[in-house]
Chain A
Amino acid sequence: MAHQIMLAVIVLGALGIIFAVVLYFVAQKFKVIEDPLIDEIAEVLPGANCGGCGKAGCRALAEAFVKQGSMEGLKCPAGGDAVMQKVAALMGCTAEASEPQVAVVRCNACFTGERSKVHYDGLRDCSFANSLFMGENGCQFGCLGLGNCAAACQFDALVMDPETGAPKIDEEKCTACGACVKACPRGIIELRNKGRKNRRVFVNCVNKEKGAVARKTCDNACIGCGKCTKVCPKEAIKVENNLAYVDYRLCIACGKCVNECPTGALIAVNFTPVKPKPAEEAPKPATQEKVEINIPQPEPVEVKKTNE
């Protein structure tokens, strides 16, 4: 009996040694020499593989950093400045400061109320529905409400609001990676600067129809009347193709235009509700406070001035 056990031990032990030697030589032969910096950079990147940088994933971005040797033209939008500073420290160069951004859904769609004109019964995919018809709300430009953006979001920041059936963005979670912007077949979502104290003014509509038609399509459509352009002190608002657009690089978030808008398409978010008029403003006091603390610098305003 003991003899048999010994034999088994010896045979297996010998096999183990032989394989170990073979493995060693194979490993030597096929060794890939990789810059350890790649691993270090990949470590500080968020690791969500959202693709916001335009690369295949976080590791691909880290490889690109190391290959290029500088940080020019490469950026992790999801990680933002904090991550870029860390990467810069590893790379031994300086990171350009950029303003924090947030995704903004520019549509006032609602799929649970009166606004629906037809009922969609097919594949729950925006880009398919976009090829099929105008959308449940009857607007050829507006949100389809089928959630491609929410599916694309890796950070749970964009979810479909069960009350309206339309996408809703959690500003705190949003990293501005831009995945939702790419996922939307109608280009409704835009990345905008977070703005000072998180206050933003923008046109909550992308309808390019003429005023009367747009109005018929949706109560809150931008009708391209141009009233907002007249009151803007910074000439930040342009009307093109019957649609106003607030340039976030010029806007100082004074909020004058919001009161001028006849349809409520222009909205201001995170303003303290001093002005009585805009009904759909609905700022959230709780988040507002938190966000104010989180935003580090009042610099953006200065940056804007230099830009001008």
Chain B
Amino acid sequence: MKLLNISGSPHVHSDESTKRIMWRVNMALIPMFLVGIAFFGLNALLVSLVSVACCCLFQWLIEKFIMKVPSTLCDGSAVVTGLLLAFNVPATADMIWIVAIGALVAIGLGKMSFGGLGKNPFNPALVGRVFLLISFPVQMTTWPTVGKWFPMAFDTTTGATPLGLVKEGLKSGKKLSEITDMPSLMDMFLGHIGGSFGEVCAVAILIGAIYLLCTKIISWHIPVSFIGTAFVFSGILYLCNPEQFIDPVTTILTGGIMLGACFMATDMVTSPMSKVGQLIFGFGCGLLTIIIRNWGSYPEGVSFAILLMNAVTPLINRWCKPARFAK
């Protein structure tokens, strides 16, 4: 007979595992992926494939030759990073090679330099994205036009994001009511607008988020407080001056708020653990996003807001201890 096993209790384990969590997150990203391909065509597919492949490759290389540890590729976290990075860049032909650099920064600098999954203080995909935004400002803000369904690859015409339109308009001294080519709310909801290809379609994001909520991978606290804060804060601003500030519904439907709130800010590794901490975290993200959008030089502030709040997460974890059973 084989030797008996000995270990401390407990002797059973739930079927929860890091691997399962990460692959479920990947499952939840599929709707956005499909919508992206529908709106932006082959470019979107190529950008995603390159991003995911590069993330996996860099992680494998770093683990094998630099860290000399067994590969953790199959836990699926590199795929999550790759997909999220791709979702956060414009689906243009230029991005196909730029996103590879982003993948190196995301995996190498954002994750593996801290010791791999679980040890990174910042969301790796956002680290990669912000690096690209600062290094390649032109390419990163050149958006493909949306118009027809399933466009051909290497379509060179460029469009603009609604937030970009607003920023440009305000800069040139126009009032909000004078900016005419804003898309309708319905278009925004369905994703028929310019932008990074993962963030445009609110419906797809919601489907993914509901899946994550049902499988208990994320809790409602961060998305609700993030979007809620953004909504309320921009609502207050809108009421103060509707000619200067866009309305709250447009605010949360445009740009990366939905994607950020549901998928980037809820990253387990870089967000607080307690429920109260998560509410504070979401509040901070929402507030910073609106501040950056309205008073910063970039039209969009979700990435910066989340990264800034990532930096505060250890402090929030320290403040927000769970309630002890026995005082």
Contact yes or no, B3 A121, CB < 8 A: no
A9 to B68, CA, bound (A): 50
Find residues 113-131 in chain A having any chain B CB closer than 8 Å to their own CB.
116-123, 128
Contact yes or no, B8 A117, CB < 8 A: no
A121 to B8, CA, bound (A): 8
Question: Which of B4, B6, B7, B8 has its CB near the most chain A CB atoms (within 10 A)?
Answer: B6
Cβ of A19 within 8 Å of any chain B Cβ, yes or no, is no
Residue of A nearest to B7 (CB): A122
- B1-30: CB near A (< 8 Å → 1, else 0) gives 001111110000000000000000000000
Cβ of A25 within 8 Å of any chain B Cβ, yes or no, is no
A116 to B3, CA, bound (A): 8
State which size class the interface on B falls in.
under 10
- A123 contact set on B, CB distance < 8 A: 8
- A120 contact set on B, CB distance < 8 A: 5-7
A23 to chain B, nearest CB (A): 30
Find residues 129-158 in chain A having any chain B CB closer than 8 Å to their own CB.
132-133, 136
- A116 contact set on B, CB distance < 8 A: 3
- B8 contact set on A, CB distance < 8 A: 122-123, 128, 132
A123 to B8, CA, bound (A): 8
A132 to B5, CA, bound (A): 12
Find residues 204-240 in chain B having any chain A CB closer than 8 Å to their own CB.
none
Residue of A nearest to B4 (CB): A118
- B3 contact set on A, CB distance < 8 A: 116-119
- B7 contact set on A, CB distance < 8 A: 120-122, 132
Interface residues in A, total, Cβ within 8 A: 12
- A128 contact set on B, CB distance < 8 A: 8
Find residues 83-136 in chain A having any chain B CB closer than 8 Å to their own CB.
116-123, 128, 132-133, 136
- A118 contact set on B, CB distance < 8 A: 3-6
A172 to B96, CA, bound (A): 58
A185 to chain B, nearest CB (A): 15
- B6 contact set on A, CB distance < 8 A: 118-122, 132-133, 136
A123 to B7, CA, bound (A): 8
A236 to B256, CA, bound (A): 81
A124 to chain B, nearest CB (A): 11
Residue of B nearest to A131 (CB): B8
- A133 contact set on B, CB distance < 8 A: 6
A133 to B5, CA, bound (A): 11
A112 to chain B, nearest CB (A): 13
A132 to B11, CA, bound (A): 14
B2 to chain A, nearest CB (A): 8
A49 to B8, CA, bound (A): 33
- B4 contact set on A, CB distance < 8 A: 118-119
Residue of B nearest to A134 (CB): B6
A123 to B3, CA, bound (A): 18
A126 to chain B, nearest CB (A): 14
A38 to B6, CA, bound (A): 50
A156 to B256, CA, bound (A): 52
A128 to chain B, nearest CB (A): 7
- A249-279: CB near B (< 8 Å → 1, else 0) gives 0000000000000000000000000000000
A117 to B2, CA, bound (A): 10
A50 to B8, CA, bound (A): 31
A137 to B7, CA, bound (A): 15
B5 to chain A, nearest CB (A): 5
B12 to chain A, nearest CB (A): 13
B154 to chain A, nearest CB (A): 49
Residue of B nearest to A119 (CB): B3
A123 to B6, CA, bound (A): 11
Residue of B nearest to A135 (CB): B6
A244 to B180, CA, bound (A): 97
- A122 contact set on B, CB distance < 8 A: 6-8
- B5 contact set on A, CB distance < 8 A: 118-121
Residue of B nearest to A117 (CB): B3
A271 to B4, CA, bound (A): 40
A205 to B325, CA, bound (A): 47
- Seen from chain B, the residues whose Cβ lies within 8 Å of a Cβ on chain A are 3-8
A-B contact pairs, 23 of them (CB 8 A): A117-B3, A118-B3, A118-B4, A118-B5, A118-B6, A119-B3, A119-B4, A119-B5, A119-B6, A120-B5, A120-B6, A120-B7, A121-B5, A121-B6, A121-B7, A122-B6, A122-B7, A122-B8, A123-B8, A132-B6, A132-B7, A132-B8, A136-B6
Instruction: List 11 extra interface pairs beyond A118-B4, A121-B5, A128-B8, CB under 8 A.
Output: A117-B3, A118-B3, A119-B4, A119-B5, A119-B6, A120-B6, A121-B6, A122-B6, A132-B6, A132-B8, A136-B6
- Seen from chain A, the residues whose Cβ lies within 8 Å of a Cβ on chain B are 116-123, 128, 132-133, 136
The 3 closest A-B CB pairs, nearest first, are A122-B7, A121-B7, A119-B3
